Amino acid sequence: MSRAYSDIAFTPTVRAMQRRMGSRTSYARLDQAEDRRDALTEREAEFIHERDGFYQATVSETGWPYVQFRGGPAGFLKVLDAKTLAYADFRGNLQYISVGNLEGNDRVSLLLMDYANQRRLKILGRVRLVNEAEDPALLARLKLPQYRAEVERAFVITVEAYDWNCPQHITPRFTEAEIEQALQPLRAELEQARRELARLRSASAKQP
């Protein structure tokens, strides 16, 4: 876990629980770690760019967490700089639970999954909601010409901390595109075998 992430996630109550359960000593070293990991590197940027969705958690004014899946074409969640993410908020079911929650509490938690390679990236940040009238250039940058959904606003996320989580217990799952990519060599090999079989049959038919 990163220093910045532990500073936020390890509240006094969490630290007390760690002491009670005997794990506090192993995590105490994070308090002295110099690399906070609160600025995204090229590794994180590439991983984020490849994702076609992520899980997002907000908290209501009554203290209830709300988790939803946000999806779109790969790369719709954009890294604007090492401390800033943003994505276009497409018009959906008009419940506005996340948007409403963020009006009272700008904190957000993102979980980005790569099931095929058993990787996950956790991000903690603060959200600023931006409409097109406020920053038309930003909305234009986030729009996806090939994606026809209506954009209502932009979510601009200031990264407070991130952490690469343990791959244990991540069950590998594959998208249609990933399966198709894996099958391409097999299909090419099958086609080659069919051509070779046709050639042999043709040669055999010509023999007296």
pLDDT in tens, 88-122: 998 878 899 999 999 999 999 999 999 999 999 99
**Cβ(161)–Cβ(123) below 8 Å:** yes
In degrees rounded to 5, what are phi and psi of residue 195?
A: -65, -40
Q: Name the pLDDT band for 208 (thresholds 50, 70, 90).
A: low
Digit-coded pLDDT (tens) for 26-63: 999 888 888 888 999 999 999 999 999 999 999 999 99
Closest CA to 26 of 11, 15, 36, 42: 15
38-173 CATH choice from 2.40.390.10, 3.30.360.10, 2.60.120.380, 2.30.110.10: 2.30.110.10
CB atoms within 10 A of CB 121: 20
Residue 205: pLDDT over 90: no
Q: What is the dihedral of CA 182, 183, 184, 190, to 10 degrees?
A: 140
**Residue position matching structure tokens 């010409």:** 145
Domain ranges (residues) in the chain: 1-36, 38-173, 174-208
Q: What is the pLDDT of residue 202?
A: 84
Question: What is the spatial distance between Cα 15 and Cα 106, in angstroms, rounded to a whole number?
Answer: 24
Continuous segment of H or E residues that includes residue 157 = strand 151-164
The pTM score is 0.86
